[in-house]
Structure 1
Amino acid sequence: MTDGKAPMTNDNQKTTHFGFQDVPEGDKAGMVHGVFTRVASRYDVMNDLMSMGIHRIWKDAMMDWLAPRPHQRLLDVAGGTGDVSFRFLKRAPGAASVVLDMTESMLVEGRQRAEAEQMADNLDWVVGDAMSLPFEDNSFDVYTISFGIRNVTRVQDALNEAYRVLRPGGRLMVLEFSQLPNPAMQWAYDRYSFNVIPVMGQIVANDRDSYQYLVESIRQFPDQETFAQMIRTAGFENVKYRNMTMGVAALHSGWKI
């Protein structure tokens, strides 16, 4: 668990987590970019294998709780290959989505999917930073980020930006890996994560190190209650969360009132 403050080095240079390493804050974005550039072409396949397809159920549950409405404007941050945007647009006639990701190769993979061609008139793909969004205040009805916020250098800054770009009455929804409340179950899940997923990454994507980082980054992310408080700190109200698969992942929701 973290208190949201970056640790400091002896020379007062701010550091942050990159998996289990402490690295200078200024280096993390480039390192994360490298990870997702390397895994982009196999990202969707690996998501299915790592979660045994359950990530699709989680994303559908996200849409059920979100209940997209016609003509809403969605900002899908760290939206990569478009999974969440495609689901949103299928449920909301006349809606539009902007998919923002810091890694252009992830957006390229998304644009090549069949759903992207079918929804091209309602989709925009933007390279950008979650901590400094290239959009005006009060621009979107909905902000989503799925399995991306734990990779942001300063999570609180990203949440503050989400609040800024949402219109009054707008909604934030975050889907992220989280912590199981039962220590024995967490132990078993950790054994799977650390012993199986990096090996799977080596076999499927020829990249063990990137998946080692992704597993470590999950363990460094705040627990459900701590993250909910960070959302409140950004200004959101009526903040709630729901555990998915006993807490392997969690859905957080908040409103800009």
Structure 2
Amino acid sequence: MRHQKLKNAAEFENTRDDVFERIASRYDLLCDLFSLGIHRIWKRRVSDLVSEEPWDNLLDVASGTGDIVLKLLQKKKLLSNQKVIVSDICRKMLSIAERKIDDYRENIRFERINAHSINEIDSSSIDVYSISLGLKICDREKAMQEAFRVLKPGGRFVSLEASNIPFNWLHNLYLFYMALCMPFIGWVATGGDSSAYKYLLHGVRDFPSAEDLKTEIESIGFEKVKYERLSLGIVAIHIAVKPECA
């Protein structure tokens, strides 16, 4: 078993470590270094999937520096009835997102939001909830329960997250590469701040497989759960629907 059910894979708690506040200005660089730039392709796929869904209200959680929403806005202009909430628990990350999305400010709202308790959002008020590379540093159960609560019946849950390469030997080789290279890359890019790569490494290593995450999402109450592996399965996108009768 690669994980404990509905656990915080990275064992990260923002009240104990403000690592993302410290590395916010270098976060985009770290993503490029750790993924060799492939994260841009993953995020573009998420934005494409979100843009294909019918929605008036989109909530992007753990937005980081705003890449998903930026790619969505670059792809297509929002309709007058469409509203987007860009959110993150880290103030500095959110500030960077605001600057990056500055040219598309119409119908965009920025909120500092904790994925575990989205008190700022009414129940059954969101059409699409998206979260990218954020579940690994959350208590997945709490985050997905809140996603379920804020979504309207029939609303979509979209998640991009670390996953498993179906071939065990290749997956183990990938984890070995991550364990070998990530500490050095992270240490150089962050000026010796070990937290940045420690949480990411744990989150990747201990996150559930695509199949197990599908089961977890279903246990929250979502239906029609499907997933798409990207880059051989290094990551996967899961899409689920809140039942109409919920």
Q: Percent identity?
A: 34
- Which fold has the larger relative contact order, with Cα–Cα distance below 8 Å and residues 6 or more apart in sequence? 2
> How many residues of Structure 1 are paired with residues of Structure 2 in the alignment?
237
- 2:135 match: 149
Q: Which of 184, 195, 198 is the equivalent residue of 2:169? A: 184
State how far apart, in whole Å, the 1-side matches of 2:148 and 2:157 are: 8
1:97 aligns with 2:84: yes
State how far apart, in whole Å, the 1-side matches of 2:166 and 2:61 are: 28
For 1:214-229, list aligned pairs within 5 A: 214-229=200-215
- How far residue 237 of structure 1 moved from its aligned partner, in angstroms, is 0.9
TM-score (normalised: structure 1):
0.85
- How far residue 69 of structure 1 moved from its aligned partner, in angstroms, is 5.4
For structure 1, the residue ranges without an aligned partner over 5 or more in a row are 7-15, 20-26
**Structure 1 residues 96 and 68 mapped into 2: Cα distance closer, same or farther (>3 Å)?**
farther
Deviations 1:113-166 (A, max 9, x none): 2xx1111122211112111102101111110000001101x2111111101111
Q: Which of 31, 41, 45 is the equivalent residue of 2:29? A: 45
Q: CA RMSD in A?
A: 1.9
TM-score (normalised: structure 2):
0.89
- How far residue 220 of structure 1 moved from its aligned partner, in angstroms, is 1.5
- 1:112 match: 99
Deviations 1:180-205 (A, max 9, x none): 11122112211221111221112122
For structure 2, the residue ranges without an aligned partner over 5 or more in a row are none
State how far apart, in whole Å, the 2-side matches of 1:52 and 1:5 are: 29
State how far apart, in whole Å, the 2-side matches of 1:157 and 1:243 are: 24
Match of 1:202, SS state, is helix
- How far residue 72 of structure 1 moved from its aligned partner, in angstroms, is 2.3
Match of 1:28, SS state, is coil
- 1:172 match: 157
Residue type of the alignment partner of 2:223: E
For 1:1-257, list aligned pairs within 5 A: 1-4=2-5, 18-19=10-11, 28-31=13-16, 34-68=18-52, 72-90=56-74, 91=76, 93-94=78-79, 95-113=82-100, 116-133=101-118, 134-152=120-138, 154-206=139-191, 207-257=193-243
Deviations 1:215-241 (A, max 9, x none): 112111111111111111111110001
